[in-house]
Amino acid sequence: MTRPTLEKVAARAGVSRATVSRVVNGSTTVAEHIRVAVQRAVEELGYVPNQAARSLVTQRADSIALVFSEPPVRVFSDDPTFAGIIRGVSLEADAADKQVVLMLAGSSRGHERVERYTTSGHVDGVIVASMHGADPLPAALARRGIPVVCSGRPLTGSSLPYVDIDNVGGAESAVRHLLESGRRRIATIAGPPDMVAGIDRLTGYRSTLRDSGRRSIIAIGDFTRDGGFDAMNQLLEDDPALDAVFAASDMMALGALQALRRAGRRVPDDVAVIGYDDIPSAPYADPPLTTVRQPTLRMGRELARLLLNPGESVILPTELVVRESA
Amino acid sequence: MTRPTLEKVAARAGVSRATVSRVVNGSTTVAEHIRVAVQRAVEELGYVPNQAARSLVTQRADSIALVFSEPPVRVFSDDPTFAGIIRGVSLEADAADKQVVLMLAGSSRGHERVERYTTSGHVDGVIVASMHGADPLPAALARRGIPVVCSGRPLTGSSLPYVDIDNVGGAESAVRHLLESGRRRIATIAGPPDMVAGIDRLTGYRSTLRDSGRRSIIAIGDFTRDGGFDAMNQLLEDDPALDAVFAASDMMALGALQALRRAGRRVPDDVAVIGYDDIPSAPYADPPLTTVRQPTLRMGRELARLLLNPGESVILPTELVVRESA
DNA sequence: ATGCTGGCTGAGAGCGCTCTCACGTCGGGG
DNA sequence: CCCCGACGTGAGAGCGCTCTCAGCCAGCAT
């Protein structure tokens, strides 16, 4: 009942361990008839290489970790970002014959666990998908000598390679759309100021308005629906005459929609609303939400590619999806 | 720049490899002053045990795999099930000092990858969270001699241990609630017939109606919003006089709500609607959705517990959450 | 004094694999 | 005819760790 070893396979095929190893690893310097014999033995015995033994000598694990430095509730919300990243990373890793190991490092204990796991030789590199730009984890891993790539520009001043989405540009395109459709008083519901996405989208909003000579009307949300609801109410109070809102996330936009409805404002007639992320339920909002879509799959691919063969950081463009809310 | 080994630590602390190993692994038979000295050496060198070497001799990996046998898009949808399971598993694994490795086995290639990974000694056991009860993966792993626990009763007839949620009971409680509030013509939007959750919820619906002498009105959905929308339309056509719908998932309930609205039916006045899952957006539906909540966190805990110390399969109870839609 | 027990420590044998060498065994050129 | 290179194979040394077992030194009973 014990798992067959190289030795067993070798004995069965009537060759040496080394030869079996060569066959298993696809070396070309093995005579055809021997290769066939070995493969049959492997098949018959159901041999699977012991990865621990292999790693021990090669010093490679042939797998990479994809760490989500967020509480699971956020990772598994109605947000396509993570799903896209995972798919992209998996695709690229597959192509390079690497295994992807997902880890959640929500708590501080999680951080420690992840650090131990990744430094103990389980993986050849780590992709940290952290929304909080000031996360200490990436730098900590890098210090340990582990290759690291960040999803989202790190706020820690470290020079780690990263892949980010053009948040500034995305916000700009949204606000410009509002401007071009004749809106005059454009408010924003910004994200948390400790997240790159929040900061950059606010920057894009601000600069675009400034360029057009209009003033900013800002409320801070936390990327959640309730946060968006509250922020919208405050915005309405601050400037009852506003005619458009750019929310830094679709969730907040959904909350804003609700607040607007409750306040008796029609969307888009009285107030235009644009969100960010293009979550699955955006098309089903009332009215269907105009939003900024991000190339999450591509982000995942670039992340993996950057980890596998180091190079320059990458910034990906966004796409404005116009529906009915603006 | 190379990682320190046991040997290095031993040399620095002036003891043997064996002693360092003892200290690192928390053996009690080490003299206090030596223990302290070794710990200092470990600290100074930043020593982290090489897991490959350790696994090689212990034949343990000290980690377990949590495999999602679904496409990522489903895993990362607005569905708290997976998040709850993951948190529960993590909690329990943490307590047992095991590492949790998440894997997605959406494609058939994914299956193969997962099988290779888990059989190559990377993990001590596998939890398969598959919604498709007929998934061949669990049995395949078990055949390989790897401990396996399934989330959801397997439909393959295998006798693998599993943890499931009382889908029949959950459906019963929903239908009974409808019955008790005076509804007479209660329809259902069932889930796909190849998923245990779909099958069992339909069973619960049917038996409850039969017991009360009423007839079933059934449409099949696919657990998606669009599927729910279509199914609701068909139901309306089949029996325009229906006054209640039990949808086997909240997503389908959301679609049904939309179809009902479009058909000019008021909820709950004309038609009562109950969903299943209690997704995060259920309270924000219009009207807020009455639904069946599942103990997903506990499910995760039981799953891990069952894997770590084998025992009887477990079935967990549900809870009816009454809001305004029914 | 001698023998014994009990508590700690070190020596050393592997765990299953890869990879470097050395070792045939051919074939072709000198 | 011999030598040399190319090619294919096997022997063997580890990779870094755990764990058994032997060894040592006290301390106690005999």
| pLDDT given for residue B8 in this prediction | 92
| B284 within 8 A of B256, measured Cβ to Cβ | no
| pLDDT given for residue A57 in this prediction | 93
Cβ contact (<8 Å) for A90 and B104?
A: yes
Cβ contact (<8 Å) for B99 and A117?
A: yes
Conformation bin of residue B16: beta by default, left when phi > 0, alpha when psi is -120 to 50: beta
With beta carbons under 8 A apart, name residues in chain A contacting B49.
Answer: 120
CB crowding A270-280: b at 16 or more within 10 Å, else e: ebbbbbbbbbb
- Which residue in chain B has the smallest CA separation from A58? B52
Look up the protein residue whose alpha carbon has the minimum distance to the C1' of C19: A18
Is residue B288 reached through a cis peptide bond, with omega within 30 degrees of 0 on the bond before it? no
Closest by CA position to B75, among listed B105, B120, B44, B95: B105
Cβ contact (<8 Å) for B53 and A48?
A: no
| pLDDT given for residue B321 in this prediction | 97
CB atoms within 10 A of CB B247: 33
Put simply, whether B46 touches A (Cβ < 8 Å) is yes
DSSP tag of A277: B
- Cα–Cα distance, A152 to A167 (Å, whole number): 10
C1’ C23 / CA A34, Å: 19
Put simply, whether B223 touches A (Cβ < 8 Å) is no
What is the nearest nucleotide to A30, using C1' and CA?
A: D8
Where along chain B do the CATH 3.40.50.2300 domains lie?
63-165+296-316, 167-293
pLDDT tens, position by position, B243-285: 999 999 999 999 999 999 999 999 999 999 999 999 988 999 9
C1’ D28 / CA B28, Å: 24
Closest by CA position to A85, among listed B83, B104, B114: B104
pLDDT tens, position by position, B83-140: 889 889 988 998 888 888 888 887 667 788 888 889 999 999 999 987 777 888 899 8
- Close Cβ partners of A154 (under 8 Å, ≥ 6 residues apart): A133, A134, A135, A138, A139, A160, A162
- Which residue in chain A has the smallest CA separation from B60? A52
The sign of the torsion formed by the CA atoms of A66, A69, A74, A79 equals negative
Which nucleotides in chain C have some atom under 7 angstroms from a protein Cβ? 7-12, 14-20
| pLDDT given for residue B262 in this prediction | 95
- Cα–Cα distance, B300 to B294 (Å, whole number): 11
* Architecture (CATH level 2) of domain A167-293: 3-Layer(aba) Sandwich (3.40)
Cβ burial of B17 (10 Å; 0-12, 13-18, 19+) is middle
Q: Class of the A63-165+296-317 domain? A: alpha beta
Tell me the C-alpha to C-alpha distance, in Å, between residue B125 and each of A5, A264, B61, B315. Answer: 20, 56, 9, 21
pLDDT tens, position by position, B296-309: 999 999 999 999 99
Where along chain A do the CATH 3.40.50.2300 domains lie?
63-165+296-317, 167-293
| pLDDT given for residue B255 in this prediction | 96
Q: Please state the rounded mean pLDDT for residues B231-247.
A: 96
| pLDDT given for residue A1 in this prediction | 66
Cβ burial of B61 (10 Å; 0-12, 13-18, 19+) is buried
Residue spans of chain A under pLDDT 50 = none
Cβ contact (<8 Å) for A46 and B144?
A: yes
| pLDDT given for residue A29 in this prediction | 84
What is the nearest nucleotide to A9, using C1' and CA?
A: C16
Where along chain A do the CATH 1.10.260.40 domains lie?
6-49
* 3-state DSSP of chain B: CCCCCHHHHHHHHCCCHHHHHHHHCCCCCCCHHHHHHHHHHHHHHCCCCCHHHHHHHHCCCCEEEEEECCCHHHHCCCCHHHHHHHHHHHHHHHHCCCEEEEEECCCHHHHHHHHHHHHCCCCCEEEEECCECCCCHHHHHHHCCCCEEEECCCCCCCCCCEEEECHHHHHHHHHHHHHHCCCCCEEEEECCCCEHHHHHHHHHHHHHHHHCCCCCEEEECCCCHHHHHHHHHHHHHHCCCCCEEEECCHHHHHHHHHHHHHCCCCCCCCCEEECCECCCCHHHCCCCCEEEECCHHHHHHHHHHHHHCCCCCEEECCEEECCCCC
Options 1.10.3720.10, 3.40.50.1980, 1.10.260.40, 3.40.50.300; which CATH number does A6-49 get? 1.10.260.40
Model confidence at B1, in pLDDT bands (50, 70, 90)? low
Angle, CA of A153, A158 and A162, to the nearest 5° = 35
Say yes or no to pLDDT of B42 above 70: yes
pLDDT tens, position by position, B65-98: 999 887 766 777 777 788 889 889 988 998 888 8
DSSP string of A154-168, one letter each residue: -SS-----EEEE-HH
- Which residue of B62, B76, B104 is the best one to mutate when testing the A interface, meaning the one whose CB has the most A CBs within 10 A? B76
Domain B63-165+296-316 has CATH 3.40.50.10540: no
Cβ contact (<8 Å) for B101 and A102?
A: yes
**Mean pLDDT, rounded, of chain B:** 92
